[in-house]
Amino acid sequence: MSSNQNNNQDRGWLSIIGPGILVAAIGVGAGDLTAAGFAGGKLGTAILWAVILGAFFKFVLNEGLTRWQLVTGQTLLEGMARCLGKWPGRIFLPYFLLWSFFVCANLMGGTGVTLHAIFPFFEDASQGKVVFGIIASIVGLILVRRGGFKLFAKVMSVCVLLMFVTVVLSAIMLAPDLGEIFKGLFVQSIPDAKDGGIAWTMALIGGVGGTVTILSYGYWIAEEKRHGMNQLRLCRWDLGAGYLVITIFGLAMIIIGSTVEVTGTGARLIIEIADSLESSLGKVGRWAFLIGALGATFSSVLGVWQSAPYLFADLWRLFVQKDADKASLTEGVLIDTNSKPYVIYQYAIATIPIFGLLFEFREVQKAYGVVGAAFLPILTLVLLILNGRKKWMGKNTNHPLTVVVLISILLFFGYMAWSRWMS
């Protein structure tokens, strides 16, 4: 048994499934809650298939970047810099800055909306969204800065438990039509395709299970000292558990969202769902959902506030300072969370996107989902190139079935983009 495996056993169950829990926490946060809620309210249970497809896509992509890191000892961004040159950074860095604004504004808004539903101190839901969103951002920043990775992981695991149990129970208690559920799971259709249906479906697939935050898993397993191919099987089980949670949660939110007709501004979505559940399940159902929703949204705030600066610091090192030839994860070198690029970006994403709270929450959510979905074909193409070369991966290149799935991801998003343009 390797020393890494001994370390994992000594540190308990959280060290074994911890990174998968973090994937679930950040992947079933405000992105799933709001995208699935809006999509479910607009399109109903007919798009349940999109949740499964989105989670499956993310699992395959995350397994690919994990395999690259365990084989080479390099983060995927480091591999892009060393093997593909400067052009990936020139494309990805501006995109990452744009993504950061939309995702952080969406997370602040989602948490602000949920807190306003729990503490309705303001008559105007939009005002409550702004005030509580700012408070959530500041609290999240303090927790991440003060607590470090260990406290972050523990808080996230509690949030996962709260959001999973309460939201899934709420969906079950609604006693949905099983015939419609099975139809939505296995029959691919997009209602109102010419009236925003395609955009909302893409936003759902883009939001469920995370987008750019997929890259965070590599830094989390490095924090857990997982190095070498003997850790791949553990990581696959870890990821499988995380994406199973993501799938079940996403399906539950679509079911809940399908019972609500969203009216007015998007800032009232959580309140409308909670009110609907109260009329069906009583006050217990209302509060169970709100507690789960808060766990979901705030876990995403913590996750992005902790992980997005990892990516920026790595991008800055690799494509601005051009230090790709220096020591990598092979030597156990992690991103310094006290370095200037990490700290500056952490404070930036916790403050600058506050201006996004001034826009209607539903439109910010759609923009976040679509912008996030645009990242997936880029990541897919990178994994096809990097993981397809024996020169870099040896015998651990992409399996033929993995290649088929990756090409299918490219074709799917190409088809969705074409359908969107044609409509």
> Is-contact 199 421, C-beta < 8 A?
no
76-84 and 87-118 helices cross at what angle (nearest 10)? 160
Q: How many helices (H) and strands (E) does the chain have?
A: 16, 0
| Confidence tier at 5 by pLDDT (50, 70, 90) | very low
Indicate the range of 130-134, 162-166, 361-365 predicted with least confidence.
361-365
Which sign, positive or negative, has the C-alpha torsion 356, 359, 365, 371?
negative
Tokens 């729990």 belong to 118
Helices (H), 260-399: 269-315, 340-349, 361-386, 390-393
What CATH architecture is 14-422?
Answer: Up-down Bundle (1.20)
> Is-contact 41 257, C-beta < 8 A?
yes
Higher pLDDT, 36 or 379: 379
> Is-contact 218 75, C-beta < 8 A?
yes
Confidence at residue 32, expressed as pLDDT on a 0 to 100 scale: 56
Residue type, 304: V
Greatest mean pLDDT range, 91-105, 227-241, 286-300, 371-385: 227-241
Confidence at residue 2, expressed as pLDDT on a 0 to 100 scale: 42
Higher pLDDT, 12 or 299: 299
pLDDT digits (tens, 9 = 90+) for 86-145: 777 778 888 888 888 888 887 888 888 889 888 888 887 778 889 999 999 999 999 888
Average pLDDT over residues 209-220: 83
Distance CA(25)–CA(157), nearest Å, equals 7
Distance CA(259)–CA(261), nearest Å, equals 7
CA angle 398, 404, 409 (to 5 degrees): 105
Distance CA(79)–CA(305), nearest Å, equals 24
Distance CA(215)–CA(37), nearest Å, equals 25
Residue 178 has a CB neighbour count (10 Å cut-off) of 8
Confidence at residue 147, expressed as pLDDT on a 0 to 100 scale: 74
The yes-or-no verdict on residue 210 having pLDDT over 60 is yes
Confidence at residue 245, expressed as pLDDT on a 0 to 100 scale: 85
Confidence at residue 345, expressed as pLDDT on a 0 to 100 scale: 96
Would you say the pTM of this structure is higher than 0.95? no
Confidence at residue 361, expressed as pLDDT on a 0 to 100 scale: 54
- Residue 3: burial class (beta carbons within 10 Å; 0-12, 13-18, 19+): exposed
| Confidence tier at 288 by pLDDT (50, 70, 90) | confident
Tokens 């969203």 belong to 262
| Confidence tier at 363 by pLDDT (50, 70, 90) | low
| Confidence tier at 260 by pLDDT (50, 70, 90) | low
Confidence at residue 404, expressed as pLDDT on a 0 to 100 scale: 94
Confidence at residue 68, expressed as pLDDT on a 0 to 100 scale: 95
> Is-contact 50 201, C-beta < 8 A?
yes
pLDDT digits (tens, 9 = 90+) for 36-91: 666 666 667 777 888 888 889 889 999 999 999 999 988 898 888 888 887 777 78
Confidence at residue 3, expressed as pLDDT on a 0 to 100 scale: 41
Residues sharing a CB contact under 8 Å with residue 271, sequence separation 6 or more, in sequence order: 113, 116, 117, 120, 125
Q: In the numeric block, which tokens belong to residue 19?
A: 């990174």
Residue type, 248: I
Residues sharing a CB contact under 8 Å with residue 227, sequence separation 6 or more, in sequence order: 4, 70, 73, 329, 330, 332
pLDDT digits (tens, 9 = 90+) for 182-194: 888 887 777 765 5
The yes-or-no verdict on residue 342 having pLDDT over 50 is yes
The yes-or-no verdict on residue 387 having pLDDT over 90 is yes
**Percent of the chain residues past pLDDT 90, beyond the cut:** 18
| Confidence tier at 335 by pLDDT (50, 70, 90) | confident
Residue type, 142: I
Confidence at residue 137, expressed as pLDDT on a 0 to 100 scale: 94
Distance (Å) of CA 343 to CA 192, 335, 350? 44, 11, 11
Cα atoms in the Cβ-side hemisphere of radius 13 Å centred on 243: 24
Average pLDDT over residues 268-274: 70
Confidence at residue 9, expressed as pLDDT on a 0 to 100 scale: 43
Closest of 86, 84, 89, 132 to residue 111, by C-alpha: 132
| Confidence tier at 246 by pLDDT (50, 70, 90) | confident
- Residue 15: burial class (beta carbons within 10 Å; 0-12, 13-18, 19+): middle
Distance CA(376)–CA(325), nearest Å, equals 27
The yes-or-no verdict on residue 11 having pLDDT over 50 is no
The yes-or-no verdict on residue 221 having pLDDT over 80 is yes
SS3 content of the chain, % helix, strand, coil (to 5): 85, 0, 15
Distance CA(125)–CA(117), nearest Å, equals 8
Average pLDDT over residues 14-42: 63
Confidence at residue 355, expressed as pLDDT on a 0 to 100 scale: 86
Q: In the numeric block, which tokens belong to residue 98?
A: 């744009």
Cβ contacts of 94-98, under 8 Å, gap ≥ 24 = 95/374, 95/375, 95/378, 96/212, 96/311, 96/312, 96/315, 98/371
Quote the mean pLDDT of the chain: 79
Higher pLDDT, 371 or 240: 240
